[in-house]
Amino acid sequence: MADRIAELLAELQRRNPGEEEFHQSVTEVLASIGPVLSRHPELDRHRTIERICEPERQIIFRVPWTDDHGEIRINRGFRVEFNSALGPFKGGLRFHPSVTLGTVKFLGFEQTFKNALTGMPLGGAKGGADFDPKGRSDGEVMRFCQSFMTELYRHIGEYTDVPAGDIGVGQREIGYLFGQYKRITNRYEAGTITGKGIEWGGAHVRTEATGYGTVIFAREMLNARGQDIEGMSCSVSGSGNVAIFAIEKAHQLGAKVIACSDSTTAVHDPAGIDLDLLKQVKLVERARLTEYVDRRAGSEVIPDGGIWSVPVDMAMPCATQNELHEADAKVLVANGVKAVVEGANMPTTPDATALLTDSGVAFGPAKAANAGGVATSALEMQQDASRDSWSFGYTEQRLTEIMKSIHRTCFDAAAEYGDPGNYVLGANVVGFLRVSRAMVALGVI
């Protein structure tokens, strides 16, 4: 079996040259799959793993737009529709200058397993563009989004493919994208895109869901080890919705977040992050974190920029892929970290993950830990389909139940496959089994 998996990986690398992040995400999943295929030869006979690694459809398109000076700009747009065995393609859009086809494929691949873990009827997809919204005016962002949607609209729909946000795509961008979709199609199909505003088809808790869910997952993981999140010190990297609402939920559960970061600065605030100030600086003013330090007595910029050098009980990487390296993991372990929980997608490098798990640190992989965002997107789709709107409290209760169930499912699968407490294994096994079984049932398509 090991030979077969190695061959599969070599072939995938040959056929998808230069897509390192995609190779990394597939390598991580394949490392868990051997024992599953040995137990389920019928899945292997149907070549489900080969089929899962090949996206159903990949769309690459030109996105021309005009900047505020009348200059014509060209970006590249992507939508990779990875797998629709369990439901319509579902996953966010990322606008960031670093986005390539390989980035979108890694994200779409991860999304397929993550969405399966939620237990909701969701396929997996991801999209985006190498557009940088930073420093762009509202008008420029709107024109970019309209141009992007002028191509994307023909590929999406509530039964086909349902985009949402990711890095660089928040409620402002979702509004412009949905507006253009509505205009072109002449239909108010709210269920075609999620992450909408509450007044125009959106759902309560969607903004908070990824961060909240990550912390709920962390609490469950700690409880399973007889530990309590209450009273723990934490560091949370990133300054988007995931990080900010992870900090909010951690504080609600009695933990204290003492370090946070954005793409240029890391901050240590021993008294605990002032969330109102952080929201004001990052969500309202879209300013740098140095603004936070200027206004908050007792906080300081961490000199070498390394958020992971602050001693904490729990670290939550919530910024972006490959942000927590082996050297960071070493420092965290030396400082006695008890848990690392991923709010971003694939933020921990493979050698860092190995070091943490080998050192007995509880490790919550993104596919399971950050699935609350897309799960709440599915709740938004339910509300759109039934012309209903649920309260914040009810929606949060649903999210909490979903996170507990994801935790329990991964925990049980890890134990069944002989490595109790290994959530990487548990998440990969459950995600793979759910997608594979549906693929077998649907025939060779």
Encoded tokens for 252: 């609600």
| Residue nearest ligand GLU, CB atom distance | 92
CB 264 → ligand GLU: shortest distance, Å? 23
Give, as one character, the DSSP assignment of residue 82.
E
Cβ-based nearer residue to ligand GLU, 191 or 292: 191
Q: Nearest-CA neighbor of 125 among 56, 28, 194?
A: 56
Question: What Å distances lie between residue 208 and 242, 316, 395, 406, CA to CA?
Answer: 7, 15, 11, 18
Looking at 374, 414, 430, 440, which residue binds ligand GLU (CB under 6 A)?
Answer: 374
Q: Which of 90, 105, 114, 126 is catalytic?
A: 126
d(CA 255, CA 258): 10
Q: Does 395 sit near ligand GLU (CB under 6 A)?
A: no
Question: What Å distances lie between residue 298 and 52, 60, 135, 418, 443, CA to CA?
Answer: 50, 48, 30, 47, 62
Is residue 126 part of the annotated active site? The answer reads: yes
Instruction: List, edge to edge, every strand of the sheet that includes 256-261.
Output: 300-301, 266-268, 256-261, 233-237, 314-317, 339-341, 362-364
CB 70 → ligand GLU: shortest distance, Å? 33
CB 124 → ligand GLU: shortest distance, Å? 9
Q: Are 256 and 288 in contact (CB under 8 A)?
A: no
Type of residue found at 240: G
In sequence order, the 6+-apart residues with CB closer than 8 A to the CB of 107 are 91, 92, 94, 126, 166, 345
Q: Find how far residue 138's CA is from the centre of its chain.
A: 25
CB 240 → ligand GLU: shortest distance, Å? 10
Q: Does 321 sit near ligand GLU (CB under 6 A)?
A: no
Cβ-based nearer residue to ligand GLU, 23 or 90: 90
Looking at 91, 108, 133, 202, which residue binds ligand GLU (CB under 6 A)?
Answer: 91
- Subset of 267-306 contacting ligand GLU (CB under 6 A): none
Q: Does 373 sit near ligand GLU (CB under 6 A)?
A: yes
Q: Does 90 sit near ligand GLU (CB under 6 A)?
A: yes
Question: What Å distances lie between residue 340 and 26, 85, 211, CA to CA?
Answer: 21, 31, 14
Encoded tokens for 320: 């972006």
Q: Which stretch binds ligand GLU (CB under 6 A): 49-57, 89-97, 269-277, 404-412?
A: 89-97
CB 91 → ligand GLU: shortest distance, Å? 5
**Helices 423-442 and 20-39: crossing angle, nearest 10°?**
80
What is the phi-psi region of residue 188: left when phi exceeds 0, alpha when psi lies from -120 to 50, beta otherwise?
beta
Cβ-based nearer residue to ligand GLU, 36 or 379: 379
Residue 300: its H or E element: strand 300-301
- Subset of 118-177 contacting ligand GLU (CB under 6 A): 164, 166
Looking at 118, 207, 377, 409, which residue binds ligand GLU (CB under 6 A)?
Answer: 377
Work out the burial of residue 272: count CB atoms within 10 Å of its CB; fewer than 13 is exposed, 13-18 middle, 19 or more buried. Answer: middle
Cβ-based nearer residue to ligand GLU, 214 or 409: 214
Cβ-based nearer residue to ligand GLU, 90 or 219: 90
Cβ-based nearer residue to ligand GLU, 100 or 280: 100
Q: Are 353 and 24 in contact (CB under 8 A)?
A: no
Cβ-based nearer residue to ligand GLU, 92 or 426: 92
CB 15 → ligand GLU: shortest distance, Å? 25
b/e 310-325 (16+ beta carbons within 10 angstroms → b)? bebbbbbbbbbbbbbb
Cβ-based nearer residue to ligand GLU, 91 or 157: 91
Cβ-based nearer residue to ligand GLU, 43 or 174: 174
Q: Which stretch binds ligand GLU (CB under 6 A): 84-92, 185-193, 212-220, 327-335?
A: 84-92
Q: Which stretch binds ligand GLU (CB under 6 A): 1-9, 47-55, 85-93, 401-409?
A: 85-93
Q: Does 194 sit near ligand GLU (CB under 6 A)?
A: yes
CB 401 → ligand GLU: shortest distance, Å? 18
Q: Does 256 sit near ligand GLU (CB under 6 A)?
A: no
Instruction: List, edge to edge, every strand of the sheet that includes 161-164.
Output: 57-66, 72-83, 124-129, 89-95, 161-164
CB 376 → ligand GLU: shortest distance, Å? 7
CB 9 → ligand GLU: shortest distance, Å? 24
- Subset of 333-372 contacting ligand GLU (CB under 6 A): 345
Location of structure tokens 């061959």: 7
CB atoms within 10 A of CB 236: 32
Q: Find how far residue 36's CA is from the centre of its chain.
A: 25
Catalytic residue set: 126
Contact positions toward ligand GLU, by CB under 6 A? 90-92, 164, 166, 194, 345, 373-374, 377
